[in-house]
Amino acid sequence: MNIRQLPNLITAVRLVLAVGAFWWLEEVLDVRGHAGEALGQSPAVSGPAFWAFWFFLVAAVTDWLDGWLARRNGWVTALGRVADPVVDKVLTLGSLIYLAAGTQYARPEDLFTVMPVWAVVILIAREFLVTALRGLVESRGMQFPADRYGKAKMVTQVVYISIAIGAAGDIPEKLHMPFLEWTREPHFFAAVFCLMILLAVASGLNYCVKGARMLASS
């Protein structure tokens, strides 16, 4: 294998990990289907949620790894520049959809639904818009890479999803790190959610402004 393709191989592995995470998240939904109610942190939920958490987290970490390798060694390829953001969207949006589909992640003290459907619609619309704009700009021979706002959006999504799935999977208890439980405190959890939505909208608008300027000057 050409060593320059290593980042692309990692991207492919991330897609496989995403599928693994979805398989376990589907197992969580199956528990709901049998019980017909929110099950909180029952053993039937915590087992598959535990594995979903690790598949998701490892996949998210590899997003940083393949990008770092590509930039550090000059291994950036056309395939990688297209595949990397696509796999990112599959991982994050797919996980958010599973959160919206299940009630197992909710707690009585939560300020609102863990993942409202309207929020998923906003996030998906934002990704479609930015992807279409990126394709248009790059068809003119210009590069349209992710900026710091887009990366911050990705980080908040990963953090929010990790907290939700990790709490359902009893990660703080199983890792003997009870202090991690504070991340699921209702007000903190709600603040991360609000930041995630705010960054998604703000970064999307920023991309639109930047893309419009680039197209106008081409």
| CA-wise closest residue to 212 among 152, 136, 161 | 136
Buried b (16+ CB within 10 A) or exposed e, 140-154: eeeebebeebbebbb
Mean pLDDT of 141-163: 89
CATH architecture of 3-217: Up-down Bundle (1.20)
Task: Transcribe 142-205 into DSSP letters.
Answer: ------HHHHHHHHHHHHHHHHHHHHHTTHHHHTT-GGGGGGG-HHHHHHHHHHHHHHHHHHHH
Tokens representing 1 are: 């294998």
Tens digits of per-residue pLDDT, 52-97? 999 999 999 988 887 777 777 766 666 667 778 889 999 999 999 9
Write the pLDDT tens digit of every residue in 8-21. Answer: 788 899 999 999 99
Domain spans of the chain?
3-217
* Closest to 159 measured CA to CA, from 196, 123, 204, 124: 196
DSSP collapsed to 3 states, 91-155 = HHHHHHHHHHHCCCCCCCCCCCCCCCHHHHHHHHHHHHHHHHHHHHHHHCCCCCCCCHHHHHHHH
Taking residue 164's Cβ as centre, other Cβ atoms within 10 Å add up to 27
- The Cα 75–Cα 8 span in angstroms is 9
- Cα–Cα distances in angstroms (integers) from residue 55 to residues 51, 91, 97, 115, 196, in the given order: 6, 10, 16, 20, 21
**Do residues 128 and 136 make contact, with C-beta atoms less than 8 angstroms apart?**
no
Global pTM?
0.89
pLDDT higher than 60, residue 32? no
